[in-house]
Structure 1
Amino acid sequence: MGVRGEVFTTKFISGERTYFFNVKENVYGDLFLNIVESKGTEGGTTRFIRQSIIVYKEDLEGFVKEFQNTLDFIKQHKG
């Protein structure tokens, strides 16, 4: 691709939290997924707490499979 950095992004807003799903390219041209949760701090200031997880391209298939298994479990057991 030769783009380097962020090549795609989308977000989901849920109350105080915003989830970003970013596809990025590293210096070697490899793509990876960066999932970020951003949440405002108490007190309504402009400060945010950010947490991030990176999933590399070679791990995406297994990650998606186990993520789907987790979603299926939650759906079956929600009360």
Structure 2
Amino acid sequence: MIEEFDNTNDLDKNTREEVFSQVVKAGKRTYFFDVKATRGNEFYLTITESKKRMGKDGKMYYEKHKIFLYKEDFEKFIESLNSVFDYIKANQEIVPRTEHTDEMELSEVESDYSSVDFDDLGK
């Protein structure tokens, strides 16, 4: 699922603001693609991966990893990313990912067990 917002009209040159954002929910991970502006009104991209984790104390928390990408690096980054994607596509079948829910995970576990039909027990 992809969500986005555009905040370009509210940009103040003296603050670092989020200008545009897309959120991609992919299974147990969520990716945030955030365009922000420097004080000089130069745009840059932050890519954040967020994963829900269980702490030792039993409480849930979010583990986050962030990359900052500046516009002078966009072209090299995109070229390299496309090259990696092309390699993967050429060398491994891409299987469409389905959204995981607790019900799906439970049904995956249950599928490891044999189905018993109680009508067969009397025979």
Q: Distance in 1 between matches of 2:54 and 2:85?
A: 30
Residue 38 of structure 1: aligned partner? 50
Instruction: Provide structure 1 residue ranges, at least 5 long, that are not aligned to the other structure.
Output: none
Greater per-residue strand proportion: 1
CA RMSD in angstroms comes to 1.9
User: Runs of 4+ in structure 1 displaced over 4 angstroms?
Assistant: none
1:36-75 alignment to 2 at 5 Å?
A: 36-42=48-54, 45-75=59-89
Using CA pairs under 8 Å that are at least 6 residues apart, name the structure with larger relative contact order, 1 or 2.
1
8 Å Cα contact 2:31-2:49 kept in structure 1: yes
Normalising by structure 1, report the TM-score. 0.88
Question: What SS does structure 2 have at the residue aligned with 1:29?
Answer: coil
C-alpha distance in structure 2 between counterparts of 1:42 and 1:70, whole Å? 32
User: Which of the two has higher C-alpha Rg?
Assistant: 2
Task: Give the gaps of 5 or more residues in structure 2.
Answer: 1-7, 94-123
Count, aligned residues: 79
